[in-house]
Each structure stands twice: as C-alpha cells, then as structure tokens.
C-alpha cells in the first residue's frame, strides 16, 4: 500500500467527477481507509543526500569541528550559513553524518605513529 500513489489517484478521480462510492471502493480495494488517505502527508524531500551528509560530517571530524568556520573564512558563505547547512545535513541523515564525523578518527588510528626499526 503506497498512500502517496493512492492519494494522487483519488485526487484525479475527484477532479474527473467520480462518484464518492467509486472513490470509497477504490480506497478499500487498495487496502486502506478514507481517514488514512485524508491524513496522509508525504515526507518532504531532503535537501542533502546521505553521501553529502557523510562528507559534511567528515569535514567536521577532520577539522575537529572547524569546517564551518574554515569555509566561512575562505569566502564560502558565512559561518552561520555553513553551520545551518551542516545542521540540516545532520538532521536529515543522522547516521551518515555521524559516520562521517568518526571516519577521520578511524583513518587516523590506522596510521602508524612510529615505524619499526
């Protein structure tokens, strides 16, 4: 059952003047209820992909939380704008962002600090 598709089809049926009983029958045939269709609201599209969120987190992790300030000093938006972008990336894809934050640490741990003689 995909409520977004059902709601779209119901809207088309209403615009074409379908009788209410036909609409109700269609909704029932799809295995849902009129209330569920009425109350459905699609999930908003995300601004950042999981990969973008990962690299946003990786930038923060690699710079110990300073990537937004560094980007601001380089003229890539203000510090506040960069912080807002990172916050949205974190909210939209928390797992990807968090994985990105710890990835630089894991990479650092793999680098030998001294070489055997």
Asked if 1 contacts 30 with a C-beta cutoff of 8 angstroms, the reply is: yes
Query: pLDDT tens, 40-59?
Result: 887 777 789 999 999 999 99
Please tell me the distance from the alpha carbon of residue 82 to that of residue 66, in angstroms, as a whole number. 11
Q: Which residues does 3 contact at the CB level (< 8 Å), separation at least 6?
A: 32, 36, 37, 40
Q: What is the dihedral of CA 8, 9, 15, 20, to 10 degrees?
A: -120
Which pLDDT band, with edges at 50, 70 and 90, does 107 fall under? Answer: confident
Percentage of the chain with pLDDT > 90?
75
Q: Which residues does 105 contact at the CB level (< 8 Å), separation at least 6?
A: 61
pTM greater than 0.75: no
């Amino acid at each position: 059952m995909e409520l977004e598709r059902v709601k779209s089809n119901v809207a088309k049926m209403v615009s074409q003047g379908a009788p209410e009983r036909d609409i109700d029958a269609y909704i029932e045939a799809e295995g849902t209820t009129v209330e569920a269709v009425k109350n459905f609201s699609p999930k908003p599209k995300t601004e950042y992909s999981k990969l973008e969120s990962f690299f946003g987190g990786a930038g923060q992790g690699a710079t110990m939380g300073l990537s937004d300030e560094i980007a601001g000093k380089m003229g890539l938006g203000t510090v506040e704008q960069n912080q807002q972008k990172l916050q949205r990336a974190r909210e939209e894809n928390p797992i990807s962002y968090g994985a990105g934050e710890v990835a630089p640490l894991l990479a650092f741990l793999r680098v030998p600090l001294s070489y055997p003689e």
